[in-house]
Amino acid sequence: MPRILIQGATCVLPDETVVANVLLDGTTLASIDAPRTSRCDEVVDATGLHLIPGVIDDQVHFREPGLTHKEDLHTGSLACARGGVTTYLEMPNTNPSTVTQERLEEKLSLAASKSVVNYGFYVGATLDNLEDLKKASRTPGIKIFIGSSTGNMLVDDQDVLEQIFAETSLPICAHCEDEMTVRENARKLGNALSISDHSRIRDRAAAVISAKRAVDLAHRHGHRFHLLHASTAEEVEILKDHRDRITGEACPHHLFFHVGDYERLGALVQMNPSLKTEADNRALWEGLLCGAIQVVATDHAPHTLEEKKRPYPESPSGLPAVENSLALLLNQVNLGRCTISQVVSWMCDAPARVWDLVGKGRIQEGYDADLVLVDLGREARVENRDQLTKSGWSPWHGEVLTGWPVSTWVMGTRVFESGRVNPQARGREAVFDHGRGGFWKA
């Protein structure tokens, strides 16, 4: 493989930001202090650009196998490459669901044949697959739908949950929305529903009750736990109180949209957990800025526009985001809300630490050559017609963002450059070393 010298980029390192020459040797980041005269096969002039580690999105739904009219592992990975995401961790609610080692390995070999960026797959919990969860390997961890969402993977039985937290050793993450609360809210609202009822049915109480339940389980059983897609101020408080074993995540849609957006965007912003208020948007931002929330990930959950046009509640929950998440956050850097180092911490370093990823998340010698050049000054409009996700749309369509990825390398291979993705490139299986003990120990 060639040696590539990225010259003169402003490199966002773990503890400082410096102008440096970075040398990639094959799949490895060989030097962050390379002489301009280093022997190499290609020189990339990165003057005026920032070099950051590739984004690790720890929550995507790429729909393969089973729902590939919405997305597949190839199209999802093309969207990643364009968005600066070099590794994705994909959720088990495909069809069939990923609930055994055999299913996991099927997905891993599919990804090896068609994914342009690096990949990993969660194993999903069911009411009766404890033995599979105990044996699972080559996975970031266990996903539990403690609240139901797309698919049929609800695990709400307390005894089963106790057993999973007591008897498994892989890290656990969960979708938290209390099923009883959701059903009772739906019953009270009856049949004449409109899209804004989505946030009344899946209300803040549903999210908070379920998050408390999961955190209690993790605490009592001494189990690592990652709270996916926090959507309320109360969850931020819960995360603040449990910093030893618990980590948390916020998604761009919960940071940028609120219930007022149903009027403009309708079911395009229907997702689970549902949108909450502007005050919740602010609380999630504060959670990120104070370190109570460590990770920004997308919950990329594509559905076709046709499906989204069905009348509520037939319209499905979820939206595509992997292609624009980094730009959305870089835009906030330009607005002065956060720094680029914080963005790198939330989107690269923290997810690598939460899931014990080997060689990823940082610009550091010996790490994998997963890198993104970003142009903080580039201004561009999000357009549905440009999206590489098979679903072909974005809830941010029409928004002008400043700060975009312009080049993406995956294991030393340039997969995105000058607006074009290389569809022939292939990523690698991500490696997890769970002996590291997760975010708070790494």
Interaction site with ligand DOR (CB under 6 A):
61, 93, 149-150, 175, 271-272, 299, 301, 317-318
CB of 150 to ligand DOR, least distance (A): 3
Angle at 425 between CA 419 and CA 428, to 5 degrees: 125
> Which is nearer to ligand DOR, 32 or 67 (by Cβ)?
67
**Spatial CA neighbour of 332 closest among 399, 386, 388:** 399
In which element (H, E) is residue 44 found? strand 42-45
SS (H, E, C) 107-164: HHHHHHHHCCCEEEECEECCCCCHHHHHHCCCCCCEEEECCCCCCCCECCCHHHHHHH
CB of 106 to ligand DOR, least distance (A): 19
> Which is nearer to ligand DOR, 21 or 149 (by Cβ)?
149
Return d(Cα 314, Cα 181) in angstroms, integer.
Answer: 20
CB of 414 to ligand DOR, least distance (A): 31
CB of 35 to ligand DOR, least distance (A): 48
- The answer to whether 249 and 296 are in contact (CB under 8 A) is yes
Return d(Cα 191, Cα 93) in angstroms, integer.
Answer: 27
> Which is nearer to ligand DOR, 171 or 318 (by Cβ)?
318
CB of 177 to ligand DOR, least distance (A): 9
Q: How many CB atoms lie within 10 A of CB 278?
A: 12
> Which is nearer to ligand DOR, 21 or 317 (by Cβ)?
317
Q: How many CB atoms lie within 10 A of CB 362?
A: 21
> Which is nearer to ligand DOR, 299 or 349 (by Cβ)?
299
CB of 395 to ligand DOR, least distance (A): 12
Q: Report the catalytic residues.
A: 299
> Which is nearer to ligand DOR, 93 or 181 (by Cβ)?
93
DSSP 265: H
> Which is nearer to ligand DOR, 28 or 304 (by Cβ)?
304
Amino acid present at 26: G
Residue labelled with tokens 């000058």: 418
Inter-axis angle of helices 233-241 and 278-290, to 10 degrees? Answer: 20
DSSP 274: P
CB of 303 to ligand DOR, least distance (A): 7
- The answer to whether 15 and 55 are in contact (CB under 8 A) is no
DSSP character string of 301-355: ----HHHHTSPTTTSPP----TTTHHHHHHHHHHTTSS-HHHHHIIIIIHHHHHT
Q: Based on the number of CB atoms within 10 Å of its own CB, is 198 exposed (0-12), middle (13-18) or buried (19 or more)?
A: buried
